[in-house]
Amino acid sequence: MSSPPGAKSQETAVARDRLGADFAAGRPSRGPETMYVFPISACDARCAFCPQYVLPGDLLAAAGGYFYEQGHVLPFDTFSRLARSLARLGGVREVLFAGGEPLLHRRLPDFIRFANKTLGRRVCGVTSSGLSMLRRGREILDAEPFGVSVSINAGTEATYRAINRTARPGDFQRLIEGMRQLTALRPTRERTRFRFSAVVTRGVAREVHDIFRLAVECRVDVLAFLRLQTYAVNGRAAYDDLAPTAENHRLFLDDLADVSDTSRDHGIEIEYCGAGDDRGVRNTRAHFDQNPCVIGFLASAVTAEGFIRPCCSSRLVLGDLNREEFEDIWLGPRYAEFRRLGALTPSGARPPDSWCDECLNYEDNLPGAGLATPAWAATATAPRDAVSHLLPLPRR
Ligand code: SF4
């Protein structure tokens, strides 16, 4: 059912007002709007820009702890306790399954059904490599997510195989066919939203028209282009060689404007996410030099190990669902300290152990743009049992 005209903007304004009030008070009045869930630390793809799997060895060692230990699977019981906590806290708008590859988790449909039931509406979105969609798409759709996003990352098989290092011949066609079959199953266009996403590498920058044609053929609702994250580790930018050149990026923007002109005729929304002054790769430093990070009021993330992290660009562990309930973590001292450090980002005091200069949560953080750093952030001392400098919790 679609919202009445104006309802969405009214909802957004209410959410912004609430964020402003919570930020001024220094404490959230409800749970996170967005809960990221990484149900399994394994993937069936090897994207050339994925730090989890293909960061050069020396940089991976230097970046230890940012990425997830392989081989963990989030138990259903842990997820169900989290969902009940979110229901008690209230305020959750979406539970987003990402990875790794969430479709490799055998019980993903049970997770979606349970979250929808516990939170009282279709609240789940799934991000996928698309490689298991032919095999599992139908059961995922039967569980009723509000959206499914597939990482297409290429407009041709050759580019796909250059980007996905373990792709076999025919995988790209299987990915496309999986999406085609999935969208054919939707009962009505409004019921589930389907999205293709493509990280803008040099190859993708040249294939905007090919990707758009595939989006039309597959009848997706959204085509999102995402800026490449280059990960500066020890002064070295990994994946710089994949980034569009200045000329390449200019042509990409021209092609994007072309397809945007006709996208509405095909019922497709085009997105290009990232900071406005980026030149093709993500760099959000300028934004967080002027605006506080408010992610601690808006979102949270759980790894397959059951650890609660504040965002997907941070290696801080703020709690452990194997030992605590989510609401105790969300309203507890470690989160309070993280929010305080987030409120101080304009002064350069960024949360430690977080990749804030290339914040992957930049879009989520945007509702905080224009908020001034409140007095409590500069003056409040952390509660007695909080750590003043957050460090990952000891491993179990
Ligand atoms: S990366 Fe930094 S600025 Fe972005 S959400 Fe995480 S802590 Fe906030």
Q: Which of 372, 313, 386, 307 is CA-nearest to residue 343?
A: 372
Q: What does 61-123 look like in DSSP terms, one character per residue?
A: HHTTTSSPPTT-B--HHHHHHHHHHHHHH----EEEE-SS-GGGSTTHHHHHHHHHHHHTS--
**CA of residue 4 relative to chain centroid, distance:** 28
240's CB contacts (< 8 A; 6+ apart) are 230
How distant, in Å, are the alpha carbons of 4, 24, 154 from that of 164? 42, 45, 10
Report whether 358 contacts 231 (CB < 8 A). yes
pLDDT of residue 356: 86
Mutate to test the pocket of ligand 1, among 285, 288, 293 (most ligand atoms within 8 A of CB): 293
Q: Lowest mean pLDDT of 41-50, 127-136, 145-154, 252-261, name the range.
A: 41-50
- Is this prediction's pTM over 0.95? no
**Does residue 395 surpass a pLDDT of 60?**
no
What's the pLDDT score for residue 386? 41
Q: Which residues line ligand 1 (CB under 6 A)?
A: 288, 293, 295, 310-311, 313-314, 342, 351, 354-356, 359, 361, 365
Ligand 1 atom having least distance to the Cα of 314? 6
Q: What spacing in Å lies between the alpha carbon of 359 and ligand 1's midpoint?
A: 5
- Give the whole-angstrom CA distance, residue 234 versus residue 289: 21
* Ligand 1 pocket test, candidate residues 231, 308, 311, 371, most atoms within 8 A of CB: 311
Tell whether omega for the bond before 65 is within 30 degrees of 0, i.e. cis. no
What are the residue ranges of helices labelled H in the chain?
7-25, 51-54, 57-62, 76-89, 108-119, 133-142, 157-163, 171-185, 202-205, 208-217, 246-263, 285-290, 295-298, 326-330, 333-343, 362-365, 375-379
Which tokens belong to 240? 């710089």
Give the position, in ligand 1's atom list, of the atom nearest the Cα of 351: 7
Q: Which residue has the tokens 């994007």?
A: 256
Atom number, ligand 1, closest to the C-alpha of residue 299: 5
| Candidate of 34, 282, 314 to mutate for ligand 1, largest count of ligand atoms within 8 Å of Cβ | 314
| Cα 391 to Cα 315: distance, rounded to the nearest angstrom | 9
* Residue 198, pLDDT score: 96
For the residues of 119-160, what is the DSSP string, one character each? Answer: HTS--EEEEE-STTHHHHHHHHHHT--SEEEEE---SSHHHH
Measure 341 CA to ligand 1 centroid, in angstroms: 10
* Percentage of the residues of the chain whose pLDDT score is greater than 90: 59
Residue whose CA lies nearest to ligand 1 atom number 2: 356
What pLDDT, on a 0 to 100 scale, did the predictor assign at position 1? 37
Query: To which H or E segment does residue 281 belong?
Result: none
Place of tokens 């808006």: 298
Counting from 1 in the atom list of ligand 1, the atom nearest the Cα of 338 is 7
Amino acid present at 350: R
Q: Which residue type occupies 383?
A: P
Tens digit of pLDDT for each residue in 85-104?
999 999 999 999 998 899 99
Per residue in 365-375, pLDDT tens? 988 888 988 88
Q: According to the model, what pLDDT value does residue 351 have?
A: 83
Sign of the torsion formed by the C-alpha atoms of 272, 162, 103 and 327: negative
pLDDT in tens, 119-165: 999 999 999 999 999 999 999 999 999 999 999 999 999 999 999 98
